[in-house]
Amino acid sequence: MEIVTNNFEFLENGLGLSLVVFFPLVSAFIVAILPKKQELLIKLTALGSSLITFILSVIVAIQFDYSKAEQFQLGSKLSWIEAINSNYEIGIDGISLPLLLLSTFITVLAIIYSFEHLPEPKSPKGMMALILILETGMNGTFVALDLILFFVFFELVLLPMYFMIGIWGDKTMRSVAGLKNEVETRLYASIKFFVFTLFGSAFMLLGFLGLYFRGAKTFSIPELIELGTSGAFTGTFATLVFAVLFLGFAVKVPMWPLHTWLPDAHTAAPTVGSVLLAAILLKLGSYGFVRIALPILPEQAKAWAPAIAILSAIGIIYGSLACLAQTDLKRLIAFSSVGHMGFVMLGISSLTSIGINAAMIGMVAHGVITGLLFFLSGSMAHTYHTRDMGRLGGNMKLLPKTGALLGFTAMASLGLPGLAGFWGEFMALLGAYNPLPGLNIAIFRTSMVAGAIGTVLTAGYLLWMLQRVNLGEPNEEWKDKELHDADAYELAAWIPLVILTILIGVFPKLIFGSTNDAVISLVTKAFGG
Amino acid sequence: MEANISINYFAISSELIVVFTIIATIFFDLLLPRKSKFYVALVALLGSLVSFIPLIFQWVNYENALVLFEGSYIVDKFSLILKGLFILVTYLTFLLSINFIESDRYYQGEYYYLLLSSLLGALVVASSRDMLTLFIGIELASAPMFLLSGWKKGDQKSNEGAIKFFLLGVLSASLILYGFSLLYGLTGELIFSEISKILLVKNLSTSPAALLSAMLILAGIGFKISVVPFHSWAPDTYEGSPLPVTAYLSVSSKATGFVALMIILTKIYPESGSSWGIVLVIISGLTMFIGNLSALQQSNPVRLLAYSSIAQAGFILAPLAISGISGDYEDGIYASVTYLIIYAFMNLGAFLVVNVLINTSGSNDIYEWGGLSKHQPLTAIFATVFFFSLAGIPPLGGWFAKFVVFRSLLSSGEIFGITLAVIGAINAVIGLVFYARISKIIWMDAPSENITVTTKNTLLSPLKVVGFISLAITFMAGIFPNLFSYLGNAASLFLNS
């Protein structure tokens, strides 16, 4: 610790964060101009740069002053677009720090996994470059403190993810309502993902402009928070702005009923794509609520909170019921995200420090656990050449390592106490039981009950999934086949996630230590509670 | 009137250089033997490049707007920026043309001097402040295009497109003239500032005759900028013309029309903005929807780009429309010109891509372009950048163009502005579907069986130059939009001159 604080002071004035954001982009360019034949060099460059980015983010985390976690730190403000008073303003507080670390961490694992496990067409060069560009978008969103900068990074993730799904995605044919001919799943899923998200964010941008004109002609998030908490935005105008921000963020989360892109995109994406999508991209939406929508428009947040709670509860129940109906392993995990993000949003909608803390730890836990689940299911799909749970079975006997990890992760995902998934669900329910005074108790308690039923259903579908996939006797068709269990690259990508799941489960303070003060400050300032 | 008109040659040196280049290309074309007609192209390229230089000097030494010919011709920052744009676009069009014109064994000279004449017209429009000069500028800019659009003489589509373009062009010219004649009848003046003064003094700004003249001029220029309902010629003419000409039509000709529109609306009709503003709001909204929805159904890349450029015109028009209603012309002009400049380069880039891919695949059907990224990796990257920039995806330049438009629409808080912004947001999403389709096809689709890739994998170097210049500008505009801050200043100078 001492060494870091003493030797890396030069990173404190925004340079560290800027490097965390832009170093991957520069590396992506380097990867892009390396000759295609030098595959190993390309992979090592990508791995090296993602590792350096991760180390930089760890240095930032060490430099971060946790006693002032509610303040934006280690940032800088440089002039960017003078004409509209938009600046290159960055910084982190206790809320964004864990998500930033999660993002840099998962990227390293995604790159390790991609060393050997790329679907057709292999082309590691393209994949590595896209992952690194994606990382710039993700990290940038978490550190941006200017609405326009936030918007640019928020949108920057779309292109790489679009190509990731479209090029490396699922090549099976599927029929689409309204089209005569069948289309490849990847093509349908990639454009659906893009169009849904752009639809949300196009309106979100209008909302940002509304805040700009009604506020003090500024896009600075800290300044807008000051304005918002002092009641600058009111009336129909503010309601409309909240509505469009809601649209932008809720599509990304995704909240029911805007979730329909998610099962398609997750199922069609290549394994690393699903992992990054589930682990980080979904968090951009919920982070947007916590960072922008709640503190800048507190009154509207109060007005909308019951609606958000209801939608979250529907999302939880709907997600778990949909899971129970799945035969496709990957699609099941995709739908489970709808449920889990429902808990995150339920926590946020309570507008209490418990609920928002629950959302924060829920986001990280979902990133770690569902990321791992997508790794495992992707790898199994690769081994068995099918994701159909009817044909799988006896996985524990066929692939003991993968099977054991799948069992562990499913337990974590259903919220077993002692593992990471527990805190988010439990505390979100607690938050919903006791929402911010003044909110409609009946609605929140009903949502809480729905959420509690959801946890039971979640346990139900995950255990059923384990029963169908892991237990029992292997199907006849696998008897004589040579099946490869997890290799070194896979284990190197997975074990860190397992460790993190246990660590967060046992020491939730790892997250709360960073988020708690910031969340309490947010709630006090915005809602006085 | 006194006879001693002293002309400030420095102020019009760009125009003069273009005139000399036109004469030079005619002479070289006559004198050179068939084999070395290639030098005509060099002369044209060089001339257009040299004509850029005076602009730099004028910009650096800028103090006040230079007024020539009794106020008919004004060189201010606004006109300098647009002249720079016109010259650069023409230069890039020449580069696009070199191999295209050569490959068809057509005569060279006419092509270059026609395009240069059109450039001259555009330059005149940017500075003109009276009805005659403006009209001559507009027609000088469009008449050569009638000929150029029919360049592929043996091609029926080219003939059809050129005839349509010509007939509607004549109609549009007569509409503009009719409008001008009404104005002249009302005021007895040619110079815009005088007309506007008299309209104001005599309280004629919203008189039926003045409004009728505005509508006639609007309709006339509506053809030039191909907005709904004056857009029907564009897809046919674009499809029939040689691709570089199409690129020029959709960029430079459109920009010329917009500049003329801006000058006329803000210099003659600043007082009746609420009347023409509403008309423009409707036109702009319809143009976006019809352009985008039609583009959605195209399989021919050129027609797709034609409808796309119609839709983009809707975006460019939107801030002007709202500025009429709110009276904040400075903001409207800033937004429209910013959009126009960014649009020019990403659209040129898109035409470059289409040009190369048609040549590579030999097919005019985008659905046959599957897997072309393997044969043309650099072009595929260009395609991704330019088409997604047209769709407005950050960090490519198109996002900033859309952003300034949205900003200008919402700045007044008027219901019309908000409505147009919502329409724009919906259209941004519709646009994405067909812009993304091109990338999808060339990167993700399987190679088509009907296609045999003929040309070699390399891009010709003039095309590369066009690609990289457009690429650089597209990225710079998206990442450092501060580059456009000088436009705000130029817009305010323009309005107050």
Structural domains of chain A, count: 2
**pLDDT (mean) for A272-298:** 92
A162 and A273 belong to one structural domain: no
A275 and A138 belong to one structural domain: no
CA of A453 vs chain B CAs: smallest distance (Å)? 38
A287 and A142 belong to one structural domain: no
- Radius of gyration (C-alpha) of chain A in whole angstroms: 22
pLDDT, position A71: 87
Residue whose pair of structure tokens reads 């996002």 in the numeric block:
B399
ipTM of the complex: 0.89
| 3-state secondary structure labels for all residues of B33-49 | CHHHCHHHHHHHHHHHH
Task: Confirm if A506 and A498 have CB atoms less than 8 A apart.
Answer: no
Instruction: Compute the Cα dihedral for A222, A223, A229, A232 and give only its sign.
Output: negative
CB contact under 8 A, A209 and B436: no
A38 and A157 belong to one structural domain: yes
CB contact under 8 A, A152 and B428: no
pTM of the predicted model as reported, rounded to 2 decimal places:
0.92
Q: pLDDT tens-digit profile of B393-434?
A: 988 989 999 999 999 998 888 889 999 999 999 999 999 999
The chain B residues in contact with chain A (CB within 8 A) are 334, 384, 388, 393-395, 399, 403-404, 406-407, 410-411, 413, 421-422, 425-426, 428-429, 432-433, 436-437, 439-440, 443-445, 480-482, 484-485, 488
pLDDT, position A141: 94
Which among A169, A185, A200 is the end of a domain? A169
Which residues make Cβ contacts (< 8 Å) with residue B192, sequence separation at least 6?
B129, B130, B131, B263, B264, B267, B268
Q: What percent of chain A has pLDDT over 90?
A: 45
Q: Which of A166, A199, A206 lies closest to B421 in CB terms?
A: A206
CB contact under 8 A, A155 and B488: no
Q: pLDDT tens-digit profile of A358-415?
A: 999 999 999 999 999 999 988 888 888 888 887 887 778 788 888 889 999 999 998 8
Average pLDDT, chain A: 88
A146 and A17 belong to one structural domain: yes
Minimal Cα distance from A188: which residue of B? B440
Q: Is A222 contained in some domain?
A: no
Tokens of A323: 């899971």
B444, B479, B480, B487: best mutation site toward chain A, by most A Cβ within 10 Å?
B444
Q: Is A405 contained in some domain?
A: yes
Is it the case that residue B298 has pLDDT exceeding 80?
Answer: yes
Distance of CA B330 to the CA centre of its chain: 20
Is it the case that residue B4 has pLDDT exceeding 60?
Answer: no
Q: pLDDT tens-digit profile of B318-351?
A: 999 999 998 889 889 999 999 999 999 999 999 9
CA distances from A496 to A334, A499, B134, B307, B384 (A): 22, 5, 70, 52, 36
Which among A114, A148, A169 is the end of a domain? A169
**Range of the structural domain that residue A395 is part of:** 269-529
A495 and A356 belong to one structural domain: yes
Q: Is A211 contained in some domain?
A: no
Q: pLDDT tens-digit profile of B175-225?
A: 999 999 999 999 988 999 899 999 988 888 888 899 999 999 999 999 999
Which among A169, A202, A228 is the end of a domain? A169
A392 and A527 belong to one structural domain: yes
A521 and A390 belong to one structural domain: yes
CB contact under 8 A, B393 and A159: yes
